Structure 1
Amino acid sequence: MVAAEDFESTEFLNRLIGGMAEGVIFIDAENIVRICNPVGGEIRGVKGVDIVGKPFLDCHPERVYEKVLELIEKLKTGEQREISRVVCLGERFFEHSYSAVRDEEGGFLGVVAVSRDITERRILENQLVERTRMLEQSNRLKDLFADIMSHDFINPSSVILNYTDMLLESELPRDSADYVTSIQGSAQKLVNLITDARKFSRLEESEDLTLESMNITAIIDGSLKGLEKEIAKKKIKIVWKNKPVQTILVSPIIEDVFTNLLSNAVKYSREKSKIVLNVEDTAESTVVSVSDQAEKIERAHWKNIFERFTRVGKESVEGSGLGLAIVKRIVELHRGRVWVEDNPVGGNTFKVELPKKTRENKKRKKIVGG
């Protein structure tokens, strides 16, 4: 047993630890407090000097006596060398670390307890946990919603489209045919909206693409082929100002960019007008232009037109409001840019710039369209 007088020689330790930000308490082998700095006492709601010479248990509520004694016993027997506990005192959180103190022969001298105020850290941790939980829940709900849209909306809409096709192929009174056509248009609009929403959601979550060498003019020709019926119906003339055989490093989903831009140009252009296409090659990039003769887009809308659900064209023209947002996101994933400007002969010119040095020879996360 260490005599109480022997601790008088440790008086200098009180001065040494007195200015520490952490609370420090030394408890001897008889569980008596021999050293306690001001912070150590403050944490326990007393003055440090008032608990020196008193049982360590006096610093705790009676309900935790057994736990405190058990903790000290584990350190005394060597079952554990260090024990940490986090406790809540009022609105503050403290981390108490207890370590055994032994002499040169390994004899047990007591326990040193170091206490730190971790309230701010705990608040940040809780906020992070809550934020993570909310994000996980949001992602689950988004995935669930996407599945519901795919199964419960698109599938029935496809059935409606099939039946309306069959009805329109039969001999119907004109009024009935008009109603069926209206139903078919609404069903198709719903399918397009859901398809675009799913595509945009996947693009928003993605950071990388798988790039490959592709002929840019061949990609645009593919988009034009898919719009042949609409182009012919409005008797629109497609004019190539410059059509080089230009190979660039892109993802196959780049076709969605030109399909959206060309589809908009056709939808908003007047009948018997022209759509002019141009591919410009520079040392640093390839710039593709799509010029229409539609109603001019006001300069004030040039930036926000690429945001979700922003539409500034004719209300009578159907669309999901996501097409240009999809265009912008795909171009951004290629480290490029897209913008709109006035067409000198009337209408608008949409330009897409794709850099040639887009992390060459590096594969990026593949996005599956649709």
Structure 2
Amino acid sequence: MKSGETRDTSAEGPDIKDLSKRNPIGKVAILDITDKMDLSDELKAYYNHLEMLVLERTEELRSINEQLQKEMSRRERAEQLLRHEKDRLQNYIDVVGVMIIVLDTDKCVSLINLKGAQLLGYDKDEIIGKNLIANFIPKDEQNKLNAQFSMCFKGDLTRNYENIVYTRAGEKKLISWTNVPLLDEQGRVIGCISAGEDITDIRLSEKKLRRYADELKCSDELKLLFIDILRHDLLNPANIIKGYSEYLLETMAREEEASIVEKIYHQNEKLIKIINAASMFGKLETTEMINFEELDLLDLLRKVSSGFAPLLEKKGMTLECPATGSYPVYANPIMEEVFSNLISNAIKFSPEGSQVVLDLEDKGSSWKVTFTDSGIGISDEHKEVIFTRFKRVSGEGTKGCGLGLAIVKKIVELHGGEVGVYNNPSGKGSVFWMQINKA
């Protein structure tokens, strides 16, 4: 531009002053840019904050997912373990010899073992889910069984009640039940475990046994009656023979005839003893009901042995009983028959002038009575046989019917005792013994 020329500013744009005049706010364009810059920073900060929140939430979700995966794994393992334990429980109850049924509170079967399924005649799957009472119990017994289960669902254990169940084949089985309440973790009753035993055959056997016992009782009564009649009818003529024989022996003068009558008399005496022994043994075989009272064995022994004084005197023998004191037992007075038989045998099988020793020993809970003789003795093979009826070991100059020791053994056994024989420690003779519980 040349000197002196005036500059035209209109073409260069509006003057700042003019702009200021037109925009009284002044520096408006600069202020707007600053606000925009501030807003952008806020957006960035907010975005960063959102990004941080998303990251935090993502981390939380990842952690929750890991925990969920672990929980699912634990649950899966628990379910596997539960299935394994359930299978093992099923195996256990399948080998049990009684019926095992688990019922829910609606009395529907949730579990049954192999024995139960076999007894009812079904597969397990055909029974599971079915109502036990409605499907397997006769109508006339359903109310009784419902009452039992109601008690169980109240928490009560019920045992040993019986009812009929129907099998698939239509058979009736008598079952003896025991019910146990099934509880959850909080102790609430959620069902019932029932164990049932088939007692059908047992009850049938019991009926047969009762019928057989009745028949035996009737048979025993008839046998006792027969024994009494036989004894009465045999003893009557035997006693008549005895009476006439005694009269003839007293009045008969001729020695030869008296000898014949004496033989008749002794044979008749033997017959009377056989009849009495057989009658006693027959009754001992047919009844176990004998009355017991407190007795003293030593008193009883002395009482019985005193009756043998004439026989001992006749053979020039002595009888010793060194025992002293009290020997109480609960026994029947028939025990006298035992002592009488054993003392009689000891005298019978001992030589003249010998000694018989009776003694009692304390064996703790029982008394042992011994009868020691110095007679012919008994061989080992005969020690058991001699206590059997009609079995007798013959000895020189001895006679018998083989019932005495059998009666001894039976009476002692009725008292819960034992009897036996062993060799005399002195080297000759025998020691018969009996053992009976103290009072």
Q: How many equivalent pairs are there?
A: 255
How far apart are residue 124 of structure 1 and its match? 6.9
How many Å separate the matches in 1 of 2:434 and 2:394?
20
Q: Structure 1 residue 219: deviation in Å?
A: 1.1
**Within 5 A, what are the aligned runs for 1:214-363?**
214-240=295-321, 242-251=322-331, 252-314=333-395, 316-345=397-426, 346-356=428-438
The SS at the match of 2:337 is: helix
Offset at residue 273 of structure 1 (A): 1.1
- From the superposition, tell whether residues 129 and 275 of structure 1 become closer, same or farther in structure 2 (CA, over 3 Å): closer
SS of structure 1 residue aligned to 2:411: helix
2:316–2:353 contact (8 Å) kept in structure 1: yes
Deviations 1:52-79 (A, max 9, x none): xxxxxxxxxxxxxxxxxxxxxxxxxxxx
1:272-301 per-residue CA deviation (whole Å, 9 max, x = no partner) reads: 111112112243221111111111101111
Report the CA distance between 1:324 and its aligned residue.
0.8
Q: CA deviation at 1:215?
A: 2.7
Would the alpha carbon gap of residues 172 and 144 (structure 1) be closer, same or farther in structure 2, given more than 3 Å must change?
farther
1:171: how far off?
Answer: 3.3
Q: What is the rounded CA distance, in whole Å, between the counterparts of 2:217 and 2:290 in structure 1? A: 24
Contact 2:373 2:431 survives alignment (8 Å): yes
Q: Among the aligned pairs, what percent are the same residue?
A: 35
* 1:199 and 2:263 aligned: no
Whether the 8 Å CA contact 2:390–2:401 is kept in 1: the answer is yes
Query: Which one has more relative contact order, counting CA pairs under 8 Å at least 6 apart?
Result: 1
* Equivalent-residue separation in structure 2 for 1:234 and 1:274 (angstroms): 10
The answer on whether the counterparts of 1:269 and 1:294 sit within 8 Å (CA) in structure 2 is yes
Q: Distance in 1 between matches of 2:400 and 2:437?
A: 29
Distance 1:313 1:332 in 2: 25
- The residue number in structure 2 matching 1:40 is none
TM-score (norm 2): 0.51
AA in 1 matched with 2:340 = T
Matched AA of 1:352: M
Greater helix share, 1 or 2?
A: 2
- Asked whether the 8 Å contact 1:189–1:318 carries over to 2, the reply is no
- Name the Cα RMSD after superposition: 3.4
Which of residues 156, 165, 171 is equivalent to 2:252?
A: 171
Deviations 1:315-347 (A, max 9, x none): 742323111111111111221111100012210
Q: 1:349: Cα distance to partner? A: 0.4
Q: Contact 1:288/1:353 (CA < 8 Å) preserved in 2?
A: yes
Give the Cα–Cα distance (whole angstroms) in 1 for the partners of residues 207 and 258 of structure 2. Answer: 61
SS of the equivalent of 1:262 reads: helix
Task: Write the distance in 2 (CA, Å) between the matches of 1:286 and 1:136.
Answer: 34
Instruction: In structure 1, give the amino acid aligned to 2:432.
Output: F
Q: What SS class does the counterpart of residue 289 from structure 1 fall into?
A: strand
Higher Rg of the two aligned structures = 2
Task: Spell out structure 1 runs of 4+ moving beyond 3 A.
Answer: 19-22, 113-118, 120-138
Distance 1:129 1:226, change over 3 A: same
**CA deviation map 1:218-241 (0-9, x unaligned):** 21122122222221111111123x
Report the AA paired with residue 354 of structure 1.
Answer: I
5+ residue gaps in structure 2? 1-118, 123-139, 142-163, 174-200
Say whether the 8 Å CA contact 2:373–2:429 is kept in structure 1. Answer: yes
Query: Where in structure 2 are the equivalents of 1:71-150 lying within 5 Å?
Result: 115-116=170-171, 131=212, 135=216, 138-139=219-220, 141-150=222-231
Amino acid across the alignment from 2:437: P
Preserved CA contact (<8 Å) 2:220 2:286? no
- SS of residue matched to 1:232: helix
Give the 3 Å change call, closer, same or farther, for CA 136–205 of structure 1 in structure 2. closer
Taking the aligned partners of 1:192 and 1:137, their CA distance within structure 2 comes to 28
**What TM-score, normalized to structure 1?**
0.60
Q: Which residue number corresponds to residue 190 of structure 1? A: 271
1:144-192: CA deviation from partner (whole Å, max 9, x where unpaired): 4313322210111011111111111123322211211111112111111
**Structure 1 unaligned regions, length at least 5:** 1-18, 23-80, 83-96, 98-112, 358-370
Q: Which residue identity is paired with 1:214?
A: L
Alpha-carbon distance change, 126 to 338 in structure 1, aligned in 2, over 3 angstroms: closer
Residues 136 and 204 of structure 1: is their aligned pair in 2 closer, same or farther, counting only changes over 3 Å?
Answer: closer
Output the CA distance in 2 between the equivalents of 1:133 and 1:333. 22
Closer/same/farther in 2, CA of residues 20 and 272 from structure 1, 3 Å limit: closer
**Structure 1: distance between partners of 2:206 and 2:368:** 47
SS in 1 for 2:266: helix
